[in-house]
Structure 1
Amino acid sequence: MAKHAGVSIATVSMTFRRPDRVKQSTRDLVLAAARALHYVPSASARGLADGRTGVLGLFSFDYLLSGEFDHPLPGAVEQPEAGLTGSVSFVREDPNEWCREFPLYVDEIQRGMELACRQLGYALMIGGPSRTAGTTMVTDIAGRVDGLAVFPQTLPTDALERIAGRIPVVAISEPPEDDRLSHVTIDNRGGMRAVTEHLIRDHGRRDLLFVGGLNPAEGRARFAGFRDALRAARLRVPRKPMVPATHGTPAGRAAVALPEQLPLPEAFVCATDDVALDVLDILAARGVRVPDQVAVTGFDGIVAGRVVRPALTTVRQPMVEMGRLVVDVLRERIADPARPPDFRQLPVQVVLRESCGCPPRT
């Protein structure tokens, strides 16, 4: 192609790797030759030249795609497709059921990473835990990318730290005390304290029950914020949260279960929106009116909280912004490998809706 364009091989390489360092007229010659010869630059070759692949990795988990879907999903009914004789599609009887499964916060953060990668010229490689592959999948991904982002509890910390010795790694979570990774997170403790204070101050709720576990670390931060609010209001501060039992739904999602004889508090303060939505379902099945008899709040700001009735009061994470920030941190670490691990924390927003007793918005 260099001969076709009348330039050196080095100029061709520079045109595709660092176009800002090549004159516009020369770039035009090289690109015209590439079009004429149907030339596509090799990312692998560029990687050998400068040690970069132009690819970022995301190691995630997927609540929905955990099995094969060549059969109808639970809750679906057959419906003939308009204008297609003999064609059948499957639709949910309740459209809101789809929102319980997609999109979740992992999907929104992934979207933010995709947008940032597109803007900066990176490709994004996505993988996740596998029963058969174990940690081999993430090491395979790590060998093909310039930097890696991971969600909490997808891999052991020691495995991540080994990978971080080779490429930049950003964990999307609160770090444990001895962690040496970069992190992008949100104000979990402050957000949970704010929504708990709202229940106490604005709705007069005094008997509050925190529902959810303490793992990953963000769960511990949220429980700490709950306790901060109770302590400031001089209410009884529990030592432990209520960690509910779980069961698998037909769609493969883990749902929480509340004891039949559980004394009803004045408010359920849930560690996540997923837990809060399950609590709303349980209360509705038991004939408990929300918010008249008990308030319910969540944390995350997923789509399903807007469409359920009563709509869910929650703490919204800036999920797309988190994804963009993850890419920024990775890019900075790639440009400066000696840069120390980074910790970035974004603010959150309390979103007041009907489930806490606030009037519905028109």
Structure 2
Amino acid sequence: MPRRPTVYDVAERAGVSIATVSFTFRQPERVREATRAAVLVAARDLGYVPSASARGLAHGRTGALGLYSFDLLLAAPQRGSDAATAPADPAAPADPADDDVDPRAFPLYVDEVQRGFEIECWQRGQALLLSSGTGSGASVTDVAGRVDGLALFPGPTHVETLEQVARRIPVVAFSMPPVADGLHHVTVDNRAGMRELVEHLARDHDVRDLGFVGRLTTPDYAERFAGFQDALGALGLPVPADPLDPTDLAEPGRFSVLADLVATDRLPRALVCASDQLALAVLDLLTARGVPVPERVAVTGFDGILAGRLATPTLTTVRQPMAAMGRLAVQVLVRHAGAPASPPESHRLDVRVVRRASCGCPPTR
């Protein structure tokens, strides 16, 4: 293979020092315009591209931030809406475009948080490494070894692994409760958002019979259910000890409780879902069985993903400031880059109820 041009080749071609070449690419304001132009012409003629790896070795930094998401399609491929069979090749990850794969197995809110993360990195001139995996300690630490700071979404990764990584680089955990784990945390006020949503259903739509849909497998869902219980108690309504239907979209046999309630016409007046993706799946189930929404039952979600605006009817939800979460994570990582042992930050952002047609409000986008 032909030898890759180096900074020394560019310096020789332009007739300058290697320091001048370095400044041209990293701090161009320090180089005279004519000199900078000569260096850039030499680099273009030689096909030279600055090496981030070389800069990292020189400065102890990679110049990149990492964003890691736990991917259910990699960890446990989903086939069909209720089937648990794996693809023919168990080593091959499922393709979300495959008609047999349930697209809701991957949390769509991740995309919107990622968008904010990308924008903040772009505005700061910060390189970004995106990675998905099964959440194993090995996959997370591998990514951590390539970046100056890491943000990640909830998953099965052991806290001990994250604590170990946080001793070397700053780590931001999205949607995980702040505890004494050495991590930085960016969360939202799930409890308050759910209380406001339930109060809206009760006071503006006179709903007194509500059921919570979703398995309490994540801290976010548990906080939302606690807010649901808080609101019912404050309104003097019966407070359930458990969700009405503890469905997890990543597992087979979902919505068995709701299906039975539909068949026997015993649905509550409102179904309050732990996430928008659960709510969208509930809308599909009710539509397939001829149950009108919101005339017979109101349906609400939580997150505020774009898909809720496109649903029929449009989905009433609690909107997380997802882009702001991503941008804030970058700001935290940049502040703590090179100082992972500094005191961790914890941020809990406000949410807001978005009223749409699925609860009986005038249809809006």
Q: Kindly provide the CA deviation profile for residues 271-318 of structure 1, in whole angstroms up to 9, marking residues without a partner as x.
A: 101111222222233332221122111001122222222221111122
| SS in structure 2 at match of 1:299 | coil
Question: Are 1:265 and 2:268 matched, yes or no?
Answer: yes
| SS in structure 1 at match of 2:70 | coil
1:5-154 correspondence runs (5 A): 5-62=14-71, 66=77, 67-69=93-95, 73-74=99-100, 104-130=108-134, 134-154=136-156
Q: Cα offset for 1:337?
A: 4.0
Moved more, 283-292 or 201-210: 283-292
Q: Is the 8 A contact 2:300 2:359 kept in 1?
A: yes
Moved more, 327-336 or 234-243: 234-243
Residues 261 and 101 (structure 1 numbering): CA distance in 2 closer, same or farther, change over 3 Å? closer
Structure 1 gap segments, 5+ residues each: 76-96
What does residue 287 of structure 1 align with? 290
Q: Kindly provide the CA deviation profile for residues 43-62 of structure 1, in whole angstroms up to 9, marking residues without a partner as x.
A: 11100111111111111134
Q: Is the 8 A contact 2:120 2:327 kept in 1?
A: yes
Q: Is the 8 A contact 1:103 1:303 kept in 2?
A: no
Q: Kindly provide the CA deviation profile for residues 69-99 of structure 1, in whole angstroms up to 9, marking residues without a partner as x.
A: 4995249xxxxxxxxxxxxxxxxxxxxx97x
Residues 103 and 310 (structure 1 numbering): CA distance in 2 closer, same or farther, change over 3 Å? same
Question: Are 1:171 and 2:173 matched, yes or no?
Answer: yes
What does residue 206 of structure 1 align with? 208
What does residue 339 of structure 1 align with? 342
1:194-233 correspondence runs (5 A): 194-233=196-235
Structure 2 gap segments, 5+ residues each: 1-9, 78-92
Tell me which amino acid in the other structure corresponds to 1:315: V
Q: Cα offset for 1:181?
A: 0.8
| SS in structure 1 at match of 2:133 | coil
Tell me which amino acid in the other structure corresponds to 2:125: G
| SS in structure 2 at match of 1:300 | coil
Coordinate RMSD, CA, aligned:
2.8
Q: Is the 8 A contact 1:312 1:354 kept in 2?
A: yes
| Mapped partners of 1:111, 1:101: distance in 2 | 20
Tell me which amino acid in the other structure corresponds to 1:296: V
Number of equivalences: 335
Q: 1:355 aligns with which of 319, 344, 358?
A: 358
Residues 31 and 154 (structure 1 numbering): CA distance in 2 closer, same or farther, change over 3 Å? farther
Tell me which amino acid in the other structure corresponds to 1:49: A
What does residue 88 of structure 2 align with? none
| Mapped partners of 2:322, 2:234: distance in 1 | 29
Identity value in percent: 57
Residues 214 and 150 (structure 1 numbering): CA distance in 2 closer, same or farther, change over 3 Å? same
Tell me which amino acid in the other structure corresponds to 1:228: D
Residues 332 and 348 (structure 1 numbering): CA distance in 2 closer, same or farther, change over 3 Å? same
Q: Is the 8 A contact 1:113 1:324 kept in 2?
A: yes
Q: Is the 8 A contact 2:270 2:297 kept in 1?
A: yes
TM-score with structure 2 setting the length: 0.82
Q: Kindly provide the CA deviation profile for residues 98-151 of structure 1, in whole angstroms up to 9, marking residues without a partner as x.
A: 7x67881111111222222222222222222249xx322221111111111110
Residues 237 and 69 (structure 1 numbering): CA distance in 2 closer, same or farther, change over 3 Å? closer
Tell me which amino acid in the other structure corresponds to 2:111: D
| Mapped partners of 2:295, 2:97: distance in 1 | 41
Q: Is the 8 A contact 1:5 1:29 kept in 2?
A: yes
Q: Cα offset for 1:230?
A: 1.6
| SS in structure 2 at match of 1:145 | coil
